Amino acid sequence: MIKRISHIGIVVGDMDAAIELWTKTFGLKKVREMEVAVEGIRSVFLSANGKPDEMAIELMLPLNKSDMNNAVSRRLAKTGGGFYHLAVYVDNVESSGKKLKAKGLHTIDRPAATGMSVGRWLTHPKETSGVMVEGMQIE
């Protein structure tokens, strides 16, 4: 089902400081920046090889930190940020989501948010070892 890891999402409270840390301290390259309106976040993708779809880190900053209807804002308020999700590429987002549901997992189907996939699903961390998994299908 899983083809490879796409990226790891990290919630941050200060995007500039986070970019500086990951680029200057760890040597990653900034490869993509966008506002993801459907999620209410600003995302910056970083990677070692300069490619956004090969084991990247996604820094995620809520557009409105006080909006407690936004899951990323809630996570930032509760924990101060940190690890948020593991994104993986799957062969077929629709059939893989159905397989997970058939195995008893609850998934949330979501529209593609970053232009890196044609659709996606999310698992609930309570059902997947404390990790939200995001399944994405490559275009």
Residue range 2-137, CATH number: 3.10.180.10
Q: What is the pLDDT of residues 70-124, one digit of tens each?
A: 999 999 999 999 999 999 999 899 999 999 999 999 999 877 666 656 788 999 9
Domain ranges of the chain: 2-137
Q: Give CA 74 to chain center in angstroms.
A: 15
pLDDT in tens, 33-65: 999 998 999 999 999 988 776 789 999 999 999
Is pTM beyond 0.95? Reply is no
**113 in the Ramachandran plot: left (φ > 0), alpha (ψ -120 to 50) or beta?**
alpha
